[in-house]
Amino acid sequence: MHGIRKLAKRLDRDERMMRISMPLACDDYLSDMAGQYCMYPDPPLITSPDAVPSLSFSALKINLAAHHAINEDILPTGTKAEMAQRLADILETRRLDLLLGRVFGLSESACTSDDAGSTLDTDWEVDSDVTEVESKAVLSASS
């Protein structure tokens, strides 16, 4: 996932379009983002990793507890430094996953429901190992 996030960041920054083959494991992960962490936390929870250093110990615990409610592998415990790093990592991953979804046309429903099927915009054959996707700009331009 790290490499595909990096690609999406670059495509977005350079306003480039590309068609790629994405491993099904990546498609499965993106289709279940809502099970990874809290996708759209309500205030006073934060969404920016840049805001993490200003949080108190209790605010870190509250933010991590919200993510823990979605994914029990996320621990809402530890020292302030450990919790700050954990929350910053989660929020950075979330930011890049949302960018990845936007660049490759992931539908909003993948982020908010438990759909079993793929939510990537594809309109061609899918083999057993990869899902081919295009950046959203390409899909829009070809419509």
Rounded CA separation 54/57 (Å)? 10
In tens, the pLDDT along 68-109 reads 999 999 999 999 999 999 999 999 999 999 988 887 776 554
CB 90 within 8 A of CB 84: no
Which one is predicted more confidently, 98 or 16? 98
Q: Give me the domain span that covers residue 137.
A: 2-142
Q: How many domains is the chain partitioned into structurally?
A: 1
Q: Can you give the pTM of this predicted structure?
A: 0.70
